[in-house]
Amino acid sequence: MPRYLLSVYGPAEQEAELRAFADTDAFTERLQGDGRLVFADGLEPATTATTVDGQGGRPAYTDGPYLETTEHLDAFWVIEAADLDVALALAVEGSKACRRAVEVRPCRTERAPSERC
Amino acid sequence: MTGPTVEQVITRVHHEEWARVVASLARRFGDLGVAEDATAEAFLAAAERWPREGVPPNPGGWLATTATRKAIDRLRRESQHDAKHQAARIVYDDTPHEPTGPVEDDRLRLVFTCCHPALALEARVALTLRLLGGLTVPEIARAFLVQETTMARRITRAKAKIKAAHIPYRVPWANDIRERLTGVLAVVYLVFNEGYLASEGDDPVRVDLTDEAIRLGRLLRTLLPDDGEVAGLLALMLLTDARRSARVSGTGELVTLDQQDRSAWNRALIAEGSALIRERIKAFAAGGDPPGRYQLQAAINAVHTDAPSARDTDWSTIVALYGRMVLLDPSPIVWLNRSVAVAEVDGPGAGLAEVDRLAEVLDGYHAFHAARADLLRRLGRGGESRAAYDRAIALAGNPAERAYLTRRRDQLAG
């Protein structure tokens, strides 16, 4: 079954909205109940991120997220859906629940191992 | 009398069979790229062999068989490069048709895949013209005045997204079909409009695009014969295209509706379009859905094509039809069109009052300034009219329209 990453972006500092939290949890629970949820979580603010580059001789650590943008990944779901229409329909509900736009991106799970990255 | 040449037969078969062959291969092999390439190869084989060997008794069947064979050959060849991956594709399950909707035509699935809302509008247009219309990439690139490589990349990227994101090859579910179909019709109408009133380039009308859009409209009508808006869009395109030859003068200038030589209008297209409108009026009277925007626009066009002369135009019916349009689509452009009709019924002063209310939102739209210029001219306000023509000319992209507006401006006294 194809997998999709549904991601939610938001400004670095954001007021938590209790209604949105409750609705988002309810949505996540429903995904789980329907057997569609692979994994989901919310993230601590982007200011808590550490970026690591291990390509050189000695690893380099940077305090902060990889991309310097005004909005950062805030939360995500990984779901299983038969096709994009199913995934988009679920993303619409997720977007309503968390009161944000949701990016839907296919995972490479279904590709041959050699093609995955 | 001689029959058609082999070349003519191939052109006709290309029009009739291309989409069908692509669509059935897409279902069978689950890959639009393979379907497209194999179909193109099959037509190439036909162009080589038919002149020598004669046209086969069932050209469509010959092409389908040949294309299927080409697709299998190709997948076999590829499978030798990457055995594990391709083995999966070659036995791609020839899924039996699921109950997908009223019509079980592969071409309808293809329409909805090409016009999927997850694809950018320009990608939808390009894919539709390539996979359903059978236009070549250079033809599509030329029609939209972009580089061939740009267009090729656009199509390749769209096909890659369809594959990677699993955009389904399916007619949408019943609760989505109305909205999705609206998106499909928008793509076809965009192709038509780009041909009819080209926004860029030197040709005022690009016949290849209007013809292609009408062909797509006819195909949709075949696939969804009971849908009012499908009929409405086809009628709208036919009634508009019927006036094509009267619309641009010998010197390349736009000729407005009231100045057109009505004897040059294509009566066959008008009859076909009018019949569709009559059919929709009957369906509505029998309790069907109220007309959508394409049916209303087509009906407005039918009022024009029914009038023996510009003076005989039933403008109050047009105002009433725009009144219904505004309820469906309260966009400033619809209001602008309604205002122009109001000016014909209640005089240019009344029309101008309505037009002026749109000044803020439509300031960057040439047709707004052109409409204002005309109304100001009729009210004898020459100076203001001239300024409005200047704005309209500066904003108009179409050469025939610019030529027309320039002449009108220069005719102003003083």
Report ipTM (2 d.p.).
Answer: 0.87
- Whether the CB of B164 is below 8 Å from some CB of chain A: the reply is yes
Q: What b-and-e string marks burial along B105-130, b requiring 16 or more CB atoms within 10 Å of the CB?
A: bbbbbbbbbbbbbbbeeebbbbbbbb
Inter-chain contact A112–B84, Cβ cutoff 8 Å? yes
| CA angle, B184 then B212 then B185, to 5° | 15
Say what the pLDDT of residue B96 is: 47
The answer to whether B334 touches B358, Cβ cutoff 8 Å, is no
Render pLDDT for A69-106 as a digit per residue (tens, 0 to 9): 889 999 999 999 999 999 999 999 999 999 999 999 99
- Interface residues of A toward B, Cβ cutoff 8 Å, are 2, 82-85, 88, 104-106, 112, 114-115
Query: Is A84 close to B167, i.e. CB distance below 8 A?
Result: yes
Interface test with B, best of A84, A109, A117 (most B CBs within 10 A): A84
Cβ pair A84:B84 closer than 8 A: no
A106 and B167: CB-CB below 8 Å? no
User: In the prediction, which pLDDT does B176 show?
Assistant: 84
Q: Is the pLDDT of residue B200 over 90?
A: no
Mean per-residue pLDDT, B162-175: 89
Region of B147 on the Ramachandran plot (φ > 0 left; ψ -120 to 50 alpha; else beta): beta
Neighbour count for residue B229 (Cβ, 10 Å) = 23
Q: Does the beta carbon of B168 lie under 8 angstroms from any beta carbon of chain A?
A: yes
Residues of A in contact with B173 (CB under 8 A): 85
B206 versus B248: the higher-pLDDT residue is B248
Across the range B261-271, mean pLDDT stands at 96
Q: Mean pLDDT, to the nearest integer, of B151-175?
A: 92
pLDDT band at A116 (very low <50, low <70, confident <90, very high): low
* pLDDT surpassing 70 at residue B99: no
Q: Nearest CB to B85: which of A84, A106, A112?
A: A112
Nearest to B164 among A106, A112, A114 (CB): A106
pLDDT in tens, B327-383: 998 999 999 999 999 999 999 999 999 999 999 999 999 999 999 999 999 999 999
Residue-level pLDDT at B97: 43
Q: Which residues of A touch B175 (CB under 8 A)?
A: none
Query: In chain A, which residues have their Cβ closer than 8 Å to the Cβ of B88?
Result: 112
| B79–chain A nearest CA distance, Å | 13
Q: Are B35 and B25 in contact (CB under 8 A)?
A: yes
Question: Considering only alpha carbons, which residue of chain B is nearest residue A81?
Answer: B166
The answer to whether the CB of B393 falls within 8 A of the CB of B402 is yes
Chain B partners within 8 Å of A83 (Cβ): 166-168, 170
More confident residue, A21 or B381: B381
pLDDT exceeds cutoff 80 at B394: yes
Residue B79: band (very low, low, confident or very high) from pLDDT cuts 50, 70, 90: confident
Give yes or no for residue B201 having a pLDDT over 70. no
B165 to A106: CB separation less than 8 angstroms, yes or no: yes
Query: Angle at CA B220, nearest 5°, toward B17 and B159?
Result: 70
- Please judge whether B85 and A114 are an interchain contact, meaning their C-beta atoms are less than 8 angstroms apart: yes
Q: What is the pLDDT of residue B215?
A: 93
What does the block give as tokens for B323? 């009144």
Q: How much of chain A is helix, strand and coil, in % rounded to 5? A: 30, 30, 35
CB contacts, 8 Å: A3 with chain B = none
Query: Under an 8 A CB cutoff, do A84 and B166 touch?
Result: yes
> Which of B166, B173, B180 should be substituted to probe chain A, the one whose Cβ sees the most A Cβ atoms within 10 Å?
B166
Least Cα separation, residue A11 to chain B (angstroms): 25
Nearest chain A residue to B167 by CA: give it: A84
Architecture (CATH level 2) of domain A2-44+65-108: 2-Layer Sandwich (3.30)
Q: Beta strand A37-42 with A3-11: parallel, antiparallel or unpaired?
A: unpaired
A84/B168 CB distance under 8 A: yes
Chains A, B: CB contacts under 8 A, how many?
31
Contact between B235 and B302 (Cβ < 8 Å): yes
Give the closest-approach CA distance of A5 to chain B in angstroms: 11
The answer to whether A10 touches A72, Cβ cutoff 8 Å, is yes
The predicted-structure confidence for B10-64, as pLDDT tens digits, reads as follows 999 999 999 999 999 999 999 999 999 999 999 999 999 999 999 999 999 999 9
What single-letter amino acid sits at A28?
T
Task: Say what the pLDDT of residue B63 is.
Answer: 96
User: Residue B172 and residue A85: Cβ atoms within 8 Å?
Assistant: yes
B403 within 8 A of B254, measured Cβ to Cβ: yes
Q: How far apart are CA B155 and CA B33, in angstroms?
A: 10
Residue B120 Cα, gap to closest chain A Cα (Å):
15
> b/e map of A36-57 (b: 16 or more CB within 10 Å)?
bbbebeeeeebeeeeeeeeeee
Q: Which residues of chain B lie closer than 8 angstroms to A84, CB-CB?
A: 116, 118, 165-168
The structural domains of chain A, with segments of one domain joined by +, span 2-44+65-108
Q: Tell me which residues of chain B, numbers 61 to 100, contact chain A at a CB-CB cutoff of 8 Å.
A: 82, 84-85, 88
Average pLDDT of chain B to the nearest whole number: 90
pLDDT number for residue B91:
43
Q: What pLDDT is attached to residue B203?
A: 66
Q: Kindly determine whether residue A106 and residue B116, on different chains, have CB atoms separated by under 8 Å.
A: no
pLDDT score of B93: 43
- pLDDT at B100 (0 to 100): 45
Q: What is the pLDDT of residues A25-51, one digit of tens each?
A: 999 999 999 999 999 999 988 888 999
Which domains are seen in chain B, by residue range?
A: 6-81 (no CATH), 103-224 (no CATH), 225-250+259-313 (no CATH), 333-413 (1.25.40.10)
